[in-house]
Structure 1
Amino acid sequence: MKYNFDKITERRNSGSYKWDTPERDDLLPMWVADMDFPTAPAVIDALRKRVEHGVFGYTHVPDEYYRSVINWFSNRHGWEIDRSWFIYTSGVVPAISAIIKALTEPGDKVIIQTPVYNCFFSSIRNNGCIPAPNPLIYTGDRYEVDFDGLEATASDPKTKVMLLCNPHNPGGRVWTTSELTRIAEICLRNNVYIVSDEIHCELTYTEGGYIPYGNLPEQFRNNASVCVSPSKAFNIAGLQIANIITPDPAVRRRIDRAININEVCDVNPFGVAATIAAYTHGSDWLGQLVDYLHGNYTTIRDFIAEEMPLLKIMPLEATYLAWIDIRATGMTSESFTDMLLRHTGLMVNPGTMYGSDGEGFVRLNFACPRSMVCDAMHRLKAALDMHFQA
């Protein structure tokens, strides 16, 4: 392998939210969804060059930025994006919040498919809206969309927006074209606007990869905004940059106004430089990263199957987030994560962070060197052995 993902980079005392928030030095933090790998060398080189310039004033986003994003999604995913559809902003969460502000009034409802990314809840509530959960159906080894429930929820006149997580966090699903089309049909029929968070789109393990919502037919594409960013795939979340892709010009004007009201209309020079470098020169690095991440997943899957039969890991189609079914232990998600932390220092997320439908699950971030994954598995087993022998 050309790139060394086994190398451990010390992140303590670097201002890392993931590593420096915990107060114990013996902790192994596998909670916050960023990676413990340095970003692609091409991105580092571009940032180094930008730093050496020495002047960091207000940023003009150049043509090269738009071309890099357009070419990346065209070449990798067959999604043809028009430059006029872009609104850049400081992150996917600010993007989602601004779109909700633009398209709703306080008291309106916003559909979410729970369990789902926890910031969806805050983005809805911060705009005075009401989360309208349409829980995913857990079949025992994957999540499916409850289309009957979606139809009923979307038909409520107070429901104005649906937040779609594509690929899904924390369930790890890559939605198929047929699933996306049924969602699109239901929402269009009920005048519900779709906001598709596609931040994990490059981290997929299925043969066909992810399907951009923007690849659906025009009538569905015009009823949606898609939020994308290189931040997850290239581990540059701290550089704070994302794009909202909105084909409908009238909706785009409303979102642009909300972006300005929320004062998230400016981006920094490092985010721009990193995006151009990642999308222009980062494909080879990303391919090897995805292979390595899948190896981490299979390491966890096999260890759990062989050593911890009480647990069950969700078959993973995307993301670097293992969704682990702990219900056979008889413990709640909170008590399980507290037990792990107390006895072994392993820090993971309780499933209830992602809504009440996440009860009985925990989320573990395995985007780290494999030695750390193995350490986490041994800590997990030690905690279970200690608890059930007590």
Structure 2
Amino acid sequence: MLTAGHPTRRRLPTRRRLPARGGQEARRGLLAALGAYVAVRATGLVALAVWSAANGKSAVTLLSRRWDSLWYVRVVDQGYGYVLTAPDGRRLSDLAFFPLLPWLERSVSWLTGLAEPDAGLLVSAVASLAAAAGIHAVVRRSVPDRPDVAVAAVVLWAALPVGIVQSMAYSESLFTALAAWSLCCALDRRWIAAGLLASAAGLTRPIGLAVACAVLVATGTAARRGGVSARLVAGAVLAPVGAAAYVLWVGARRGSLFGYLDVQKGWGNGFDGGAAFARFTGGLAARPPYVGGVLLAAGVGVLLWGYVRGFRDGGPRLPLPVQVYTGIVLALALCSSGYFGSKPRLLMPAFGVLVPVAAALGRLRVRWRVAVLAVCALGATVYGAFWLNGSGPP
């Protein structure tokens, strides 16, 4: 334990508080970020509604009653245990879907009287705002001398090509919100809150592992530099509990310690170091029209550039917990052998790679910065409406 007057150890600095003026600037920045986020996503939803109506489809159905959202609703209605045999013989179990979103859908449906799919949309809407605020908070702490970077990072996250998923009854927004605020609490040394949020993230998606690892790195670094406290230990212990509890429960239900891995294998998911994804990208680049593979490789290059840039002093240099979290999300998404159409949305929680891009935008004149962000938002609007009216996210 750290004691007063200890000759060799020093106390960690207390959580930094912004002065009154700085606090006002932070609030204005947050409001600007949330306002821009709502504008981008609302535009995307309007475009989706118009496009869907023109095709004789319902935007609400596309957002809440197709693909994975149906699996979550089935868990709400029937509990776990459903297995679908795919045409190729694979056995798809609903145990692949973590339970926090179904729990929230059931609770919101009970409280509001909404149907479960519509409750999922409400959960996603609130969670997406919380995620935007959390990203702003993390980036503001990571790059404290550049408040514009935090706002730009939120807008870039809203304007991702698959940003429409943030408005669907999917778990991406919920997970990103929990992950961002867990990281924020870890950076502020609020260890119990960081651990609880990491545990909740672990009940939301398999990549909850990334949040738990980030909190463990933060607590380990703090312990090495300034000693151990009860709150620090509690945060470290709590962080992996959610993910571990669900994985162990699935294992017990299936009679195997590695039962969850067997479930994922049934879906065709596994960790192969990126070999399958490389073959897929190479295949696209080797056959007409060729451009698909080139664009995909370029997109991965931008992601890796953003991640590496976050380690550099001129980058901006991101805190170690944010680097760890972002790196694990990237590794799990790019190095898995699952359905490749899912990868863009699986990468969505890796918001750390957007920070160097946002910092680079900050060096442009305001009108050029606004123009770039507007083009990104317009592209996301058109692509989102096209995507959900076509193949859509699996």
TM-score of the aligned structures, taking structure 1 as reference length: 0.28
More helix by share: 2
Higher strand share: 1
